[in-house]
Structure 1
Amino acid sequence: MWNKIEPIMRAKGLNQNQLAKKMGIRNSVISDLKSGYIKKPRFELMEKFADALDVSLDEFRDK
Structure 2
Amino acid sequence: MTERFSDSSSELPLFNRNLQKARRLAGYRSAAEFAEKNGFNAGTYTAHEQGQRAMSLEQAWRYSVTLGCSMDDLADTNTSGTTLTFGETIKLALRMKGLTASQLSEKSGVQQSYLSRVINGKILDPTWSKARAIIDALDMTIEEFRDLQQP
TM-score clears 0.5? yes
Residues 14-47 of structure 1: CA distance to partner in whole angstroms, max 9, x if unpaired? 1011110001121101111122221211111111
Residue ranges of structure 2 left out of the alignment (5+ in a row)? 1-85
Larger radius of gyration between Structure 1 and Structure 2: 2
Q: Which has the higher helix share?
A: 1
The match for 2:12 is none
Q: How far 1:10 sits from its partner (Å)? A: 1.4
**Deviating 4+ runs (over 6 angstroms):** none
| 1:1-63 matched pairs, under 5 angstroms | 1-58=86-143, 59-60=145-146
Over aligned residues, Cα RMSD in angstroms? Answer: 1.7
Aligned residue pair count: 63
Q: Report deviation, 1:50.
A: 1.3
- The answer to which structure, 1 or 2, has the higher relative contact order (CA under 8 A, 6+ apart) is 1
Task: Provide TM-score, normalisation by structure 2.
Answer: 0.38
What percentage of aligned pairs have identical amino acids? 29
Contact 1:9/1:15 (<8 A) preserved? yes
Q: Which consecutive residues of structure 1, in runs of 5 or more, have no partner in the other structure?
A: none
AA at the equivalent of 1:27:
Q
